Chain A
């Protein structure tokens, strides 16, 4: 396993695309977080806004880049046929998949932590100017605040789980373009479909099983009681999606010809 990790680390570090994509995760997440913090304002007590969630808006966009990064870690080997070289060198295919999952998770954690820290810091600086003040019932954004810390850590984990979901899907479909389509579809189509469902019960059900809507519940710091799923349970839903994708991908990997 140690050798397999070394292999996957060497593979990812020796293509320029990895560094660019990680930088894009940070920049896109921070840029959209800053933009959201700059345009949303709180007019008075009970304005119904959630400052932590606003500052972390960029996660919903940075996830797309994370998905691309994870898909390419597998899909890039299938498109070139290099996957056969990999399996000739390491015949235990589950070990290869596990090593890829760990290395991608590590890289996404680092990029995600950087993106989240800068986003929260930007929110802390920008939001008070937009009416998010003590007078309107909002404390200054701080990671010392339990729910804010949960939102921040949860957002990093959210990105990691999106990466694992994408890795599993890419392993199952063996084609980078198709895998990116499936992953982005899973993430972004659920909220759109949910929006056109008029039945409130079904609306709530869809939100509960939607990997993105449920997963991002972990960012909520206000009105937690009225969420369709509780924050950690929501992240758990995304975790189940990721685990399911990895199990399906791993099983197909085992039974199919390389």
Chain B
């Protein structure tokens, strides 16, 4: 089966609330796709719809070209983690994985393999109720990996993890994608996906705002701007503005310059004998790019609303 998730025109209402408003995107193999948006944007509802847990009013979600509910051993096709707390506290972690394994025709040996993979072997025979949130996330990842699936759907997997756990999860998600799997990871914080996602689907109010590769997103947010480190801030601003650049102060010794190439900036500073320690191409963070994009979206909404009001 082709390891993809195809979401097409999903619509769903909860009473008067529109949860999904034509959600459409595709998740492709070999990549970590970030699924980002504020709380209430429809991320979890979309994931539940993909997994056949919630019905939708219109549209469809396919995994490898088929609706989830028609899959014979679904966990062998799609591994998922929606809520790490969704287990009975009286059962040991190992027994939780054991019943899941049995549901896919797998045995205890596969359970022990995934437990080793997520580094939970020392605690696996304890009651799951005694686990920290980070340990539950690892157990949830182990459950998602049981069927060695080509597709993974993970809802906020680093939520509540300590920094060490977050670092582990990032590396782990990257390695899963490197193995050729399609990995869909939701987050309400863009910064959590920095250095993890190759592609992001940004959502708001039940639909996709942007569906873009992380490289393109950062490049477009970075523009042709130059970051300049200098102790002679005022002097530098004066000469650069004179040369036709737009200059913004972004730190104590830092200026962001647009409208001039890096070479021209260096030349202008040299001609005027302005001291500087570094000139580099400005690189926006994922968070910065996200803010820029969602600000545009907000302005767009505002403009449309204004027009409608007129």
Name the residue on B nearest A4 (C-beta).
B103
**Which residues of the partner chain A approach B91 to less than 8 Å between Cβ atoms?**
11, 14-15
| Given A81-B85, A84-B86, A91-B70, 12 further pairs, Cβ under 8 A | A3-B102, A7-B103, A11-B88, A14-B91, A80-B88, A81-B83, A84-B82, A88-B52, A88-B75, A89-B100, A257-B53, A257-B54
A130 interfacial contact with B, CB 8 Å: no
Shortest Cβ distance from A198 into chain B, in angstroms?
Answer: 46
B143 interfacial contact with A, CB 8 Å: yes
Shortest Cβ distance from A118 into chain B, in angstroms?
Answer: 29
> By the criterion CB–CB under 8 Å, are A82 and B86 in contact?
yes
Shortest Cβ distance from A12 into chain B, in angstroms?
Answer: 10
B196 interfacial contact with A, CB 8 Å: no
Candidate in B54, B98, B100 with the most chain A CB atoms within 10 angstroms: B100
Shortest Cβ distance from B59 into chain A, in angstroms?
Answer: 15
**Which residues of the partner chain B approach A17 to less than 8 Å between Cβ atoms?**
90
Distance of A77 Cα from B100 Cα, bound (Å): 14
* B side interface size, CB within 8 A: 32
With A88-B80, A89-B75 known as contacts, the answer to whether A3 contacts B90 (CB < 8 A) is no
Which 10 residue pairs of A and B lie closest in terms of their CB atoms, listed nearest first? A81-B86, A14-B95, A89-B103, A10-B99, A91-B69, A258-B53, A257-B54, A6-B102, A7-B103, A15-B90
Interface of A, secondary structure class, is helix
**Which residues of the partner chain A approach B104 to less than 8 Å between Cβ atoms?**
3, 89
Can you spell out 22 A-B residue pairs with CB atoms less than 8 angstroms apart?
Answer: A7-B99, A7-B103, A10-B102, A11-B91, A14-B92, A14-B95, A80-B85, A80-B86, A80-B88, A84-B48, A84-B51, A84-B83, A86-B103, A87-B53, A88-B51, A89-B74, A89-B103, A90-B103, A92-B69, A257-B54, A258-B48, A258-B53
> By the criterion CB–CB under 8 Å, are A91 and B85 in contact?
no
Interface of B toward A, CB cutoff 8 Å:
48, 51-55, 68-71, 74-75, 80, 82-83, 85-92, 95, 98-100, 102-105, 143
> By the criterion CB–CB under 8 Å, are B87 and A85 in contact?
yes
Query: Which residues of A195-246 have CB atoms within 8 Å of chain B's CB atoms?
Result: none
A131 interfacial contact with B, CB 8 Å: no
B95 partner, pick from A10, A77, A82, A92, beta carbons under 8 A: A10
**Which residues of the partner chain B approach A3 to less than 8 Å between Cβ atoms?**
102-105
A76 interfacial contact with B, CB 8 Å: yes
Contact with B along A76-109 (1 / 0, CB 8 A): 1100111011111111100000000000000000
> By the criterion CB–CB under 8 Å, are A258 and B54 in contact?
yes
> By the criterion CB–CB under 8 Å, are A80 and B105 in contact?
no
> By the criterion CB–CB under 8 Å, are B100 and A85 in contact?
yes
A257 partner, pick from B48, B87, B90, beta carbons under 8 A: B48
Contact with B along A48-80 (1 / 0, CB 8 A): 000000000000000000000000000011001
Contact with B along A7-22 (1 / 0, CB 8 A): 1001100111100000
A80 partner, pick from B51, B68, B75, B87, beta carbons under 8 A: B87
**Which residues of the partner chain A approach B85 to less than 8 Å between Cβ atoms?**
80-81
**Which residues of the partner chain A approach B75 to less than 8 Å between Cβ atoms?**
88-89
B52 partner, pick from A11, A15, A91, A255, beta carbons under 8 A: A91
> By the criterion CB–CB under 8 Å, are B102 and A82 in contact?
no
